[in-house]
Structure 1
């Protein structure tokens, strides 16, 4: 019972960290614009892709259900509806993951500034490895590609489960949110972890020890990233919150430092 309560508390803390990320990011209009630029570029690319996907979804469903061409009309329509839904569910998972990865790659120098400013306000970055952004771009790209490939590997069975009546319309979306939330939490914490010289394997190990907190943070990000336009604002805020999540999992303070005050003059 205590473990359930602890997991619930950690999940809520992850959700709170996302909210605090929004609050910290929103205080600075310059950071608002800075963080929105790469997210907007990625959004335009994905919007075009989704338009084509929706236009041709019936054709794609027919292609993947070629075996049903000779079936009775009603049964063929049911199986192709399930296929179309499965394609959209798998595309949603891949979109959220690849949107995050591509936005982080395009905006690496921008989000590095946002993350570093967050940590500066919390007392700095213990264990920081001082490398220019272009030195970290390739390792970040490799880590992102590994996560995308993992997402593709997971999306395939999710797509196949979409054919199963009831399960495909209920269980699969829930699993999608849980898996997508976890992978996004791993992705958006990449910048603060990499700043400390910690790579993907280290990141996953540390976050796994705080899985409920990572899910409380990542699942809302995953769900909101499915909403058009909103994703432009969510991504930089998620990086801000991911910095707080990183500090929390590393046992560092997430309380903002009070500015030093001049001592009061002593009356003579």
Structure 2
């Protein structure tokens, strides 16, 4: 008998005292049909509590988005874990779309999807080709990501806690996670269907900000090591060419990248 994999939705949130926010995430949906794990990083004296079957809550006094997601990886009970933020809106039958993708690409340990903006348009440009991929260049948003928990646990793969919101490298943790799967010879796929709506701009749309430059440069250092200095020169020219920064901002952007390389070197040596 073929056993269908189970899906669990992991939601990272902060300072919550009730579950009312779930109504916006799952509009007109029966929550009893879903398995949900909420990681509530909180400074409040009152913990978030769930009395609803199928909705589990872990309250944590540690902060950082990657720490939240690692806690979910440790405590997940579903076969497939979908990463969610507390300000997204899932589309009808999103769960069926995810499970359909894992049936089609049954060798995949990670499958990414599309998501829409507030106008029901694709939030960003996606690959024209669907299927298995080994590309490390395609930008990835966390809410697009789903993965097989068993595969990730067996390889000891976690989110890099030096990256993500709440750290000095506030993005790029998704790409590092995906790269880790590929390095461990796990298969990654892209399924060209949207599963949610998210009005907030992606980090890739703010490439000229100091935080993004820091994070992407540090992430590239983990891959390219000393070749990152050459990559950084090309990247600064790219930012200028596509008008993310002005001509006069190029030296500043390069200095931000150099400091990011030095900082990630220190963190890696400490680890």
Could you state the TM-score of these two structures normalised by the residue count of structure 2?
A: 0.22
Which of these two proteins has the greater Rg computed from alpha carbons?
A: 1
Q: Where is the strand percentage greater, Structure 1 or Structure 2?
A: 2
Q: Where is the helix percentage greater, Structure 1 or Structure 2?
A: 1
Could you state the TM-score of these two structures normalised by the residue count of structure 1?
A: 0.23
Which structure carries more relative contact order (alpha carbon 8 Å, separation 6+)? Answer: 1
